[in-house]
């Protein structure tokens, strides 16, 4: 674990304390508020000039003034609501009350504290060996971090399988994708992007659990009738030497055709997620959203990089639900569920707010869409890629349409969970032929 020396801390606070009020407030602030027992984070950007104070609160323009140590700020958002800060400046923070009024609601006032968001400090990358002892079944901001790491650091750890069994076949948790983590990433702030690169993802035992059911989303009426008696747990043998998986005949005694089946192993992580914001209900580890989660996408494998939005200080990264291999769709509900040896490296992109999950492999960029139907997931993946091409490649709407039209590869990630998922992949070889502009 990395340590910040007390001397460094002293030095930092000295700088802050020696400056006189009014402090130069210009910069990015994290507003932490207690809203009826619920913590909420807001991003405030201030621009302090000698003759005026302006700012932006989650998109709403604010104007303000400083009188002695008193700070006042107010602004009206496009929906007709008004936000008013009434605060006292103290050293390098300010605190006070924030009042929201809105035509369709009663006015409400609550307490907040503002802390400055410093520029990202990069340190010498560290390697952490981490052996998990506790496993979590919600992508919750309220679980205690198991390890604090810095941007650039690498963690080597393990995950238990979806049912909670570890590499020694010992049950360590109730099932439902118990996760390793959360990892606290120093400097991560709500509104940043967390970057997780899967450096290494390897099997660490010789069996996986699965079944012969078919999930509802994959069943047309005729297939439902045909497979109505399917209801078997299946154990698969993982042949690490030959890199193949075969169903164990003992769990499949009446099967004549799968005895020699040999499917190439392709280890992947079913879950990679940041904790969701503290204002909502923490989702179960079988769910997914723009924070990642149970994506069950078989290209989240060794060598992939995942980009996730940060909703809490420290980001709070979870990993779990390893699959020895998974067909697209994960139509059995289970893939080949197994424990995993995982090594990943994290990084941050400060101030970049992603609306959805992005993945990068050596050959492709991949925009994911997850929703209640494949049709909506398809649209979400397309929107997500359109935003990516706007952000990073500056394509116009016409160019986006032309480019996706010729370059898109759409595959189904999964239909096994509450959300169905679609991945929109584009080869970097085609991306690289785009004309760069300033």
Q: Which of residues 141-160 bind a second copy (CB under 8 A)?
A: none
DSSP-assigned states of every residue in 65-90: EEETTEEEEEEE-TTS-EEEEEEEEE
Closest distance of CB 23 from a second copy, Å:
31
Q: How far apart are CA 416 and CA 419, in angstroms?
A: 8
With CB under 8 A as the contact rule, the residue among 336, 346, 348, 357 that binds a second copy is: 336
> Comparing C-alpha atoms, which of 244, 202, 277, 261 is closest to residue 35?
277
With CB under 8 A as the contact rule, the residue among 330, 340, 343, 388 that binds a second copy is: 330
With CB under 8 A as the contact rule, the residue among 326, 343, 345, 364 that binds a second copy is: 326
CB 30 within 8 A of CB 117: yes
Q: Please, which residue, 46 or 404, has the CB nearer to a second copy?
A: 404
Radius of gyration of the chain from its Cα atoms, rounded to whole angstroms: 25
Closest distance of CB 164 from a second copy, Å:
7
Closest distance of CB 186 from a second copy, Å:
28
Closest distance of CB 32 from a second copy, Å:
15
Q: Please, which residue, 197 or 232, has the CB nearer to a second copy?
A: 232
Q: How far apart are CA 43 and CA 203, in angstroms?
A: 41
Give the burial class of 435: count Cβ atoms within 10 A of its Cβ; 0-12 exposed, 13-18 middle, 19 or more buried.
exposed
Closest distance of CB 163 from a second copy, Å:
5
Q: How many residues of this chain interact with a second copy, rule: CB under 8 A? A: 135
Q: Which stretch binds a second copy (CB under 8 A): 4-12, 87-95, 145-153, 382-390?
A: 382-390
Closest distance of CB 75 from a second copy, Å:
15
Beta strand residue intervals within 189-287, DSSP E: 193-203, 207-211, 233-239, 244-247, 263-264, 268-274
Residue 158: C-alpha distances to residues 177, 187, 431 (Å): 13, 25, 35
Q: Please, which residue, 199 or 211, has the CB nearer to a second copy?
A: 211
With CB under 8 A as the contact rule, the residue among 45, 86, 199, 376 that binds a second copy is: 376
Largest CA distance in the chain: 84
CB 379 within 8 A of CB 385: no
- Contact flags string 5-44 toward a second copy, x per CB under 8 A: ------------------------------xxxx------
Site for a second copy in 174-233 (CB under 8 A): 174-176, 208-214, 216-233
- Contact flags string 256-295 toward a second copy, x per CB under 8 A: xxxxxxxxx--------------xxxxxx--x--------
Q: Please, which residue, 120 or 263, has the CB nearer to a second copy?
A: 263
Parallel/antiparallel/unpaired status of strands 193-203 and 268-274: unpaired
Told to check if 255 binds a second copy by CB under 8 A, we report yes
Q: Please, which residue, 139 or 344, has the CB nearer to a second copy?
A: 139
Q: Cis before residue 22, ω within 30 degrees of 0? A: yes
Site for a second copy in 62-121 (CB under 8 A): 78-81, 102-108
φ, ψ (nearest 5 deg) of residue 378: -60, -45
Three-state DSSP class for residue 56: strand
Closest distance of CB 170 from a second copy, Å:
6
Handedness of CA 262, 264, 266, 270 (dihedral sign): negative
Q: How far apart are CA 47 and CA 61, in angstroms?
A: 11
- H-type helices in 308-367, by residue range? none
Told to check if 314 binds a second copy by CB under 8 A, we report no
Site for a second copy in 340-369 (CB under 8 A): none
With CB under 8 A as the contact rule, the residue among 329, 344, 359, 364 that binds a second copy is: 329
Closest distance of CB 28 from a second copy, Å:
25
Q: How far apart are CA 229 and CA 225, in angstroms?
A: 9
Closest distance of CB 7 from a second copy, Å:
40
- The length of the chain, given as a count of residues: 438
Told to check if 125 binds a second copy by CB under 8 A, we report no
Q: Which stretch binds a second copy (CB under 8 A): 9-17, 19-27, 249-257, 343-351?
A: 249-257
With CB under 8 A as the contact rule, the residue among 201, 245, 273, 275 that binds a second copy is: 245
- H-type helices in 267-341, by residue range? none
With CB under 8 A as the contact rule, the residue among 204, 290, 294, 420 that binds a second copy is: 420
With CB under 8 A as the contact rule, the residue among 149, 295, 325, 366 that binds a second copy is: 325
Q: How far apart are CA 135 and CA 339, in angstroms?
A: 13
């Amino acid at each position: 674990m990395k340590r910040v020396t007390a001397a460094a801390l002293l030095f930092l606070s000295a700088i802050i304390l020696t400056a006189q009020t009014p402090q130069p407030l210009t910069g990015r602030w994290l507003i932490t508020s207690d809203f009826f027992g619920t913590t909420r984070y807001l991003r405030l950007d201030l621009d302090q000039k000698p003759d005026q104070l302006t700012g932006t609160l989650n998109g709403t323009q604010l104007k303000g003034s400083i009188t002695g140590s008193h700070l006042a700020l107010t602004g009206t958002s496009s929906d007709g609501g008004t936000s008013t800060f009434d605060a006292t400046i103290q050293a390098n923070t300010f605190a006070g009350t924030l009042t929201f009024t809105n035509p369709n609601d009663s006015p409400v006032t609550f307490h907040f504290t503002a802390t400055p968001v410093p520029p990202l400090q990069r340190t010498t990358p560290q390697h952490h060996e981490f052996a998990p002892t506790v496993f979590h079944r919600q992508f919750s901001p309220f679980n205690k971090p198991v390890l604090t790491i810095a941007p650039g650091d690498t963690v080597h750890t393990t995950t238990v399988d979806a049912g909670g069994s570890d590499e020694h076949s010992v049950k360590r948790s109730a099932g439902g994708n118990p996760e390793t983590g959360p990892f606290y990433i120093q400097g991560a702030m709500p509104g940043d992007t967390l970057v997780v690169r899967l450096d290494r993802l390897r099997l660490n035992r010789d069996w996986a659990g699965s079944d012969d059911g078919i999930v509802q989303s994959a069943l047309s009426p005729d297939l439902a009738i045909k497979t109505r008696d399917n209801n078997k747990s299946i154990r698969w043998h993982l042949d690490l030497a030959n890199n193949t998986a075969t169903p164990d005949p003992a769990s499949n005694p009446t099967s004549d055709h799968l005895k020699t089946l040999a499917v190439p192993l392709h280890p992947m992580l079913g879950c990679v997620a940041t904790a969701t914001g503290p204002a909502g209900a923490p989702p179960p580890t079988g769910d997914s959203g723009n924070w990642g989660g149970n994506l069950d996408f078989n290209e989240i494998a060794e060598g992939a990089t995942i980009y996730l939005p940060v909703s809490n200080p420290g980001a709070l990264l979870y990993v779990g639900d390893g699959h020895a291999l998974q067909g697209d769709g994960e139509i059995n509900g289970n893939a080949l569920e197994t424990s995993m040896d995982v090594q990943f490296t994290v990084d941050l992109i400060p101030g970049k707010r992603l609306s959805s999950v992005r993945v990068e492999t050596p050959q492709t960029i991949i925009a994911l869409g997850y929703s209640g139907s494949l049709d909506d997931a398809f649209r979400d993946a397309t929107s997500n890629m359109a935003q990516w091409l706007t952000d990073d490649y500056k394509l116009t709407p016409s160019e986006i349409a032309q480019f996706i039209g010729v370059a898109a590869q759409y595959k189904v990630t999964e239909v096994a969970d509450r959300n169905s998922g679609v991945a929109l992949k584009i080869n970097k070889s085609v991306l690289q032929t785009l004309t760069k502009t300033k």
